[in-house]
Structure 1
Amino acid sequence: MSSLPSTVDVAIIGAGAAGLGAAHALKESGLTTIVLEARDRVGGRAHTIQASPDVVFDLGCGWLHSADQNTFVAIAEQLDFELDKTLPPWRERAYGKAFPQAERDEFVRALDAFYDRIEQAARSGKDSSANRYLEPGNRWNPMIDAISTYVNGSELDRVSILDVDAYEDTNINWRVRRGYGALVAAYGSEVPIALNCAVNLIDHSAKRVRIETSRGTIEADKVIVTVPTNLIADEAIRFHPALPDKVDAARGLPLGLADKVMLALDEADALPKDGNLRGATMRTDMGTYHIRPFGQPCIEGFFGGRFAQQLEDAGDGAMAAHSIDEIVSFLGSDFRRKLKPLKESRWSHDPFARGSYSHALPGHAGARAVLAAPIDGRLFFAGEATSPHFFSTAHGARDSGERAAKEALAASSKR
């Protein structure tokens, strides 16, 4: 959109999955809408790039989690995006001698027992940090903590057990061959979006809401806010009058950090497609590696939590360098010449994300409902952090946008 309208019925802040879900839900409403996006692209934390001529790379979300309930599955089919239903490389597809199958089985049993203890403890309704449910002295505790950094973006000492228990996972996980980010971008192609339009202030002190942006001011009857929690917590977007309950809720739902690195792999046929590589390391500061996703000539690495933050802060290339060193330690020195850095994500350094996806701090599991609650029939809130059961996912975000749009429509019909 080349010019910004001066007024609309509904303004949507953010063109990620949540904002696009809201915009689609309002398409047939007869209301004028616009999506205001700070970036120069659509998709938010869903972003596909062509890392090399033969490697597609999702810098952000890459898996259609709970695919049998994931609303992006039907969208993919409508938009003619091929779905890949290959088993994920998490349990069934270990590769190499760095993590022998017997030890892997032992680790999986320890991990399952840990989650069973959390589920049982959560029945009391009393919250606490998840690290309290590690079995004292268990050799796999550091690796269980590492798994949390991939799943929650944070170590277990900062994760609420009630939040962990609330998450729903059907254990059916598919992928989009052309990229999840590409699918989300295609989903946004038919809604009105103003790019390079960062929102600074949402002034709801008068009858109509005034929105100050980097491209000028716009007024709206209603506003749907879908930005990541860290932007609300840091007050990068300010509200007037202030909304301290929303800021507090956002601070209880910080974005953890989960980063990815993509390495080109020469002589790729020497390794299996869609394999998993990690070591049986007794430390949390570790990566896990997806060998040849979609059969591509590459290895995709994952890092989370404080270790991901350390690698980001070390600068461009640090994640790739560590990955190559770690992979070589697993597979042998000959692999050093076969690996070449392509691209790495740096989500905590992205000014419009400041992290990857939300987790509830201990004692703050109820903050998701607080953040989602409408204000005065004019301000509505969406985003993965507001999803009660599918938080940290793109489909949870999309569905929350649809929910907020329906709330806005219901409020409009009452006036």
Structure 2
Amino acid sequence: MSTSTEGFAWTPTRGYEFGLRTQAVVPSTPESDLSSEYDIIVIGAGYAGLAAARDLAFAGKKVLLVEARDRVGGRVFSAETDDGNILEIGGGWVHWLQPHVFSELTRYGLDDFVETKSMPEGCEVFSKQSREAIAMAQSPTEAEKFFGEMEALMSEVYNVDGGGGRTVLPFPFNTTNSMESNSEYGNIDDLSIKARVEQLTQLTDEQRHALMEHAASFFGIPPDRVSFTEVLRTFALCNFSSSMIEEATMKWKIAKGTTALALAILKDFKGNRIFASPVRSISQGEGAHPVTVTLESGKQLQSRFAISTIPWNVLPSIQFQPTLSPTLQDALANGTIAARTEKLLVATAAELPNGFNISCEGGDMPFASGFADGKHGKDTLLTLLTHPDIDLEKSDENLRLAETLHPNGLKVTSAWAHLWSKDRFAGGVMPIRQAGFLKKYYHEVRKPHGRVHFCGSDFADGWRGFMSGAFEDAYRVTKEVLNSDA
């Protein structure tokens, strides 16, 4: 099995080893088999790019898939350990409420899942407020009371319309229809999480503070910088049920790993592909193949159309000719904030119940929260959400603080991560929209730029930031391109 250039593994005896073993590393089409001109160049071999390339080739188009990394999957891929355990390094949870990804999983016979229990009933919750503090346990009764109260308070936050948010987002997979159905949708999007919570004057200051922290914790971004509709959209996608949010976003993982899905789609793709080939610029001119994609190597590729699935946070680094519209440039610069929370996977020899939960908010710990996420061989696997810029890839001291997350200590036997916030091809986990995005930018960012179409999970209406959103938007843009090329 090949090793990607991305990510790291750590053990107490070997220290840091860079690069992760993964089936996601695949070869490029031999140079001699490449063409100088294509109908469509698809930039990016994440799930949106893979699906778009596959479907365009099925439609009879001559397609080239170009990827900056040495692997498929984009911000989602599975690594494998020496003993065959699968680790989800990026996104990983799926659900049948995420219809587009579930359809793909069914198509390829991958609808077999592993269950995560991030907060099972009756589980102890621990907290550790600082590096020096000892992890303290909260009783199951206290924990259930707290989360029950928080769920009730969040219901008040969602109830911005007196109807539990249902009239604001009647069509969570179609923003345009929702805006046409309720003229107040755009005005409600003008609210940040902080502004929406402050409208709840019947609550105490303590309750409002707790609500802001809880709602913003979904993104790891201060509540005054996130649009309220970002959390309302997730609530709507989960059938307007708070209890379904965890179920739909953090419970089920693909048994064979996310990379199995990426490879299945790639196998269906009947076209050329080149990997480890970052794009420098995209220009448009005249002629039968007016789009020129220039790689960092200097190589130029021509096509009639291009689909860019380059992540939103990375788009400003690409040179466009003609330049992007002023509105789109403003959206890229000021309309969103990059979510930069990292995910660290830790194996510990400690016996922990599936769902052991730890919170480290409010102190100087490198971790925000974490939970036991099944077994890793004989060990327990912990999923830890960490703050950015803490040098996990070179600081044994920070990494070993995972051993202090239980009153009895946790012997860490190994750890793995890829730091998306330091990844120049990702620029963070995903973009989070700020208040006012819909009225200022929404329609502009969905438009093609001449013969260049923007696509990906970052542009989706529904499960934006999830694999399902990548497929959703791939279907939309593929149809646009085929209609333009009819």
Return the alpha-carbon distance in structure 2 between the equivalents of residues 80 and 105 of structure 1. Answer: 37
| Matched ranges for 1:252-271 at <5 A | 252-266=335-349, 270-271=351-352
Give the secondary structure class of the aligned counterpart of 1:202.
strand
Unaligned runs of 5+ in 2: 1-28, 127-136, 162-167, 169-183
1:71 match? 100
Say whether 1:222 aligns with 2:305.
yes
**Which amino acid letter does the alignment assign opposite residue 221 of structure 1?**
R
Which of 194, 199, 209 is residue 131 of structure 1 equivalent to?
Answer: 194
Tell me the CA shift for residue 340 of structure 1.
2.5
Return the alpha-carbon distance in structure 2 between the equivalents of residues 202 and 393 of structure 1. Answer: 26
Return the alpha-carbon distance in structure 2 between the equivalents of residues 209 and 137 of structure 1. Answer: 56
- 1:180 to 1:48, Cα distance in 2 relative to 1, 3 A: same
Tell me the CA shift for residue 140 of structure 1.
8.6
- Shifted more, 171-180 versus 275-284: the winner is 275-284
User: Are the equivalent residues in 1 in contact too, given 2:361–2:368 (CA < 8 A)?
Assistant: no
- Shifted more, 341-350 versus 123-132: the winner is 123-132
After superposition, the CA RMSD in angstroms is 2.8
1:370 match? 444
- 1:162 to 1:289, Cα distance in 2 relative to 1, 3 A: closer
Tell me the CA shift for residue 114 of structure 1.
4.3
Instruction: Render the CA deviation track for 1:355-384: whole Å, top value 9, x for unaligned.
Output: 0022101222454443222233x2211111
Tell me the CA shift for residue 57 of structure 1.
1.2
1:22 match? 52
1:154 match? 221
1:248 match? 330
Say whether 1:184 aligns with 2:262.
yes
Instruction: Render the CA deviation track for 1:177-200: whole Å, top value 9, x for unaligned.
Output: 222244224322332321011111
Return the alpha-carbon distance in structure 2 between the equivalents of residues 318 and 27 of structure 1. Answer: 50
1:89 match? 118
Return the alpha-carbon distance in structure 2 between the equivalents of residues 319 and 51 of structure 1. Answer: 23
Give the secondary structure class of the aligned counterpart of 2:389.
helix
User: Are the equivalent residues in 1 in contact too, given 2:281–2:294 (CA < 8 A)?
Assistant: yes
Tell me the CA shift for residue 237 of structure 1.
1.0
Which of 447, 457, 476 is residue 403 of structure 1 equivalent to?
Answer: 476
User: Are the equivalent residues in 2 in contact too, given 1:229–1:255 (CA < 8 A)?
Assistant: no
Instruction: Render the CA deviation track for 1:52-71: whole Å, top value 9, x for unaligned.
Output: 5253211100100x423433
- 1:105 to 1:388, Cα distance in 2 relative to 1, 3 A: same
1:145 match? 213
2:388 match? 309
- 1:42 to 1:317, Cα distance in 2 relative to 1, 3 A: farther
1:320 match? 399
Return the alpha-carbon distance in structure 1 between the equivalents of residues 206 and 36 of structure 2. Answer: 61
Return the alpha-carbon distance in structure 1 between the equivalents of residues 76 and 263 of structure 2. Answer: 8
Give the secondary structure class of the aligned counterpart of 1:121.
coil
- 1:144 to 1:130, Cα distance in 2 relative to 1, 3 A: closer
Return the alpha-carbon distance in structure 2 between the equivalents of residues 158 and 284 of structure 1. Answer: 22
2:463 match? 390
**Which amino acid letter does the alignment assign opposite residue 39 of structure 1?**
R
1:206 match? 286
- 1:364 to 1:332, Cα distance in 2 relative to 1, 3 A: same
Say whether 1:196 aligns with 2:272.
no
User: What is the TM-score of this pair, normalised by structure 1?
Assistant: 0.85
Return the alpha-carbon distance in structure 1 between the equivalents of residues 368 and 44 of structure 2. Answer: 31
Instruction: Render the CA deviation track for 1:240-278: whole Å, top value 9, x for unaligned.
Output: 111033222233133312311122222x5x322x31311
Instruction: Render the CA deviation track for 1:1-44: whole Å, top value 9, x for unaligned.
Output: 12243110011111111111211221221110111100000100
Say whether 1:5 aligns with 2:35.
yes
- 1:140 to 1:295, Cα distance in 2 relative to 1, 3 A: farther
1:239 match? 320
- 1:174 to 1:264, Cα distance in 2 relative to 1, 3 A: closer
**Which amino acid letter does the alignment assign opposite residue 195 of structure 1?**
F
User: Are the equivalent residues in 1 in contact too, given 2:78–2:257 (CA < 8 A)?
Assistant: yes
